[in-house]
Structure 1
């Protein structure tokens, strides 16, 4: 019995429901006619013209027959119209529900390209199809990002692990000795792995709303000076000029350590893609809209088709980049947690890159 009920489609249920309503309505009508009709008929006839009892009985019987014929005829017509209209109305509903079930089935098997056509006449189905399509698109994008992330993460882990394994094997075979230079190389590779694990943990914490910020009145001038001061030796070694322009003291309510991390990420990226004799400029301004930091370089620039993806995890616009591709992702998470915005723009390859940060004051 349970299995039979499960096989009844929505369309069948709608048709049966309509038929039940019609039968119920006609049943009520027939009951009222059968109970109240004859007395009313007899009373009306007696008021108009008294008749002999046998004639009145035959007239009442004829009245019953006429009512029965009319009700049967009405039931037949109502039944046929109900079936026809129910089929006409429920056919698109059944098709829409079947299409949704098929799309959901494809999604459940991992086919995230499944999409539903919107219904032209039923707004509710159109809204549902739009929501399902949006969900499928999000899942598809997330799955693509996950696969790329795993591939890039495997790539990032492979190099330091291969280096560590190679040196350990060489030491074991007696080809290398565990002297200070060898240990320094091993420690450097371990630091890379540790930094990568920390970056991934920071991204996860930010996306889950667990990024801890120690907010307090913070001078952006000091944050920028600390970041640029720490990187000046690296810039000097590559012969890239690093300048800072700040017209006034600017304070925000922020976490100075996290904000310095963002500036350091931007300056490190700029240095990586700016050739010798190039320039990187940091500009700090403020107005009623907030505090603004702009980092501009004269480096390699970014092709237009890469710009929408630069904040994605492990995404690198330049395949020869030595970074992990996580720095900008972390930077956006930190700025977003400060209720600010960060954007990256470029006029194209060879035209340099500009990063803009806006923070509420």
Structure 2
């Protein structure tokens, strides 16, 4: 290798260091140099401003002293006014040089002492200003350095990073608090992602295991491929298809990529239609369904298919978890709608046990079931565990809200609010 090529490689290794994983090129500076670059710039800027301020102060003070001395001593003023009258090009320093006698020497000595004292004061003030600016710059840069370290750790996959808040209630405290909130949100999202993958795998594993067992039993001659066996296989395939469709719908709704066709709809007529569609299932479950709507039209703005999907999921949840009879009466499910301050409020209420305190905050989590043993409705239909999460995502995609609560008189109530048409 030639000498020029060797020098080129040395130059590249020095000024273009190869970064490690998760790090940017340092461009010839170490990480420590980059960290203290802001501190040096702040200290240098503050020190320069302090030096300029001291120089300006000394100059103006020297001028003020010159005027004061010549004003207090008329004899010296007469001596000074003579040379100054020759023209504006004659400066105070030149005037002092032309003065003769003991008065001139005394005046020159006064201003020499004054200049020496002012210079010493200026040097001392500059040093103090530089020290003070360095201290202030260090206090400003220290939280930023901690933020840089924490951001690097966060980018490296460490999710438990938290920073102590600065004592001063300023912008640095606000930025640090925002970083802690970001780190907490990322940690929560990471935990949710791991839980989601585990839940999806679990919900896919169950029907796949049933399908495998049924098919292997048929292959071994243990079960006949008759109509009941094929019906069981068909039901598990439908569950898999429903789970995949629900995951896709939820992803589109939360990502804002869902195609919607909002139009004016009559909430009262929609609830009556829903009650008619669920009449058979409600009767099979031994329950009763009541509809409380105003006599006239109650218009809201929503996509008809997505609105029906929301109400379908809410009513399906009520049939799955809220069927508890009161005495000799059949279990009751209430549907209703009313106008509320520019919005239309629709509710679905059951008369069951309601939500437990810890389950209420998790009602809309994916794959969460308040009662794991109730994964199927009274008719044996399996659920994907995504119904309520999809309902809330669809409501928010249409500019509405969906809330869950325990009714004061018992049972759980879901309240859907959509814009009025």
Under a length normalisation based on structure 1, what TM-score does the superposition of the two structures give? 0.84
Q: Count how many residue pairs are aligned between Structure 1 and Structure 2.
A: 352
RMSD of the alignment, in Å?
3.3
Listed one character per residue, the Cα deviations across residues 101-159 of structure 1 (whole Å, up to 9, x for unaligned) are 23223322333332233333362202211221222222222222222212211111111
Which one is further off, 232-241 or 263-272?
A: 232-241
Alignment of 1:1-361 (within 5 A): 2-3=28-29, 5-6=33-34, 8-23=36-51, 39-44=91-96, 46=98, 50-51=99-100, 69-70=116-117, 72-121=119-168, 123-248=170-295, 249-273=297-321, 274-275=323-324, 277-286=330-339, 288-322=341-375, 323-346=383-406, 351-361=410-420
CA shift, 1:236, in A, is: 1.5
Query: Secondary structure at the residue paired with 1:175?
Result: coil
Asked if structure 1 preserves the Cα contact closer than 8 Å seen for 2:347 and 2:416, the reply is: yes
CA shift, 1:163, in A, is: 0.9
Counterpart-to-counterpart distance in 2, 1:38 and 1:120: 58
Asked if structure 2 preserves the Cα contact closer than 8 Å seen for 1:293 and 1:358, the reply is: yes
Distance 1:18 1:156, change over 3 A: same
Task: Name the structure 1 match of 2:77.
Answer: none
Query: Secondary structure at the residue paired with 2:127?
Result: helix
For the pair shown, the structure with the greater C-alpha radius of gyration is: 2
Asked if structure 2 preserves the Cα contact closer than 8 Å seen for 1:343 and 1:356, the reply is: yes
Structure 2 gaps, min length 5: 1-14, 16-27, 63-87, 376-382
Counterpart-to-counterpart distance in 1, 2:207 and 2:349: 32
Distance 1:358 1:151, change over 3 A: same
CA shift, 1:84, in A, is: 2.9
Asked if structure 2 preserves the Cα contact closer than 8 Å seen for 1:226 and 1:260, the reply is: no
Counterpart-to-counterpart distance in 2, 1:321 and 1:354: 18
Under a length normalisation based on structure 2, what TM-score does the superposition of the two structures give? 0.73
Asked if structure 2 preserves the Cα contact closer than 8 Å seen for 1:242 and 1:281, the reply is: yes
Structure 1 gaps, min length 5: none
